[in-house]
Amino acid sequence: MAKILVVDDAAFMRMMMKDILVKGNHEVVAEAEDGKKCLLEYSRVKPDLVTLDITMPELDGMNALLALKKLDPAVRVVMVSAMGQQDIVIQAIKAGAKDFVVKPFKPDRVLEAVNKALTS
């Protein structure tokens, strides 16, 4: 069972992601609503994986990814994007994200991305 940190500025999206992950036999050990809190929570709980929304206040997903990589070069991140953010997704993959999922979530796709990232 993997320990996962879910990061999204929308509480509803965090709840949906959490539900999918828990049903997929993962444990959500922490949540954050922006990139700054993501970094604090990551240091506190040391999760196996982070699901990271791209568009957030304070510190967006792309900059949070870069900061996480500095903090822990081995960090495993699955980016979460809305439709039409393909350019940023490509940048995120180049910067070290393992995969991405597009909103609205499809549970099978989320679990596929998470499980792939955990084994890479």
d(CA 55, CA 27): 24
Q: Letter for the amino acid at 89?
A: V
At 113, which helix (H) or strand (E)? helix 107-119
Q: What is the pLDDT of residues 50-91, one digit of tens each?
A: 999 999 989 999 999 999 999 999 999 999 988 777 788 889
Tokens of 65: 């990814």
The enclosing domain of 36 has a CATH number of 3.40.50.2300
The reported pTM is 0.95
What are 101's strand-pairing partners? 80
Q: What is the pLDDT of residues 7-45, one digit of tens each?
A: 999 999 999 999 999 999 999 999 999 999 999 999 999
Number of domains in the chain: 1
Residues composing the chain: 120
Residues ≥6 apart with Cβ < 8 Å to 15: none
Domain of 87 in residue numbering reads as: 3-119
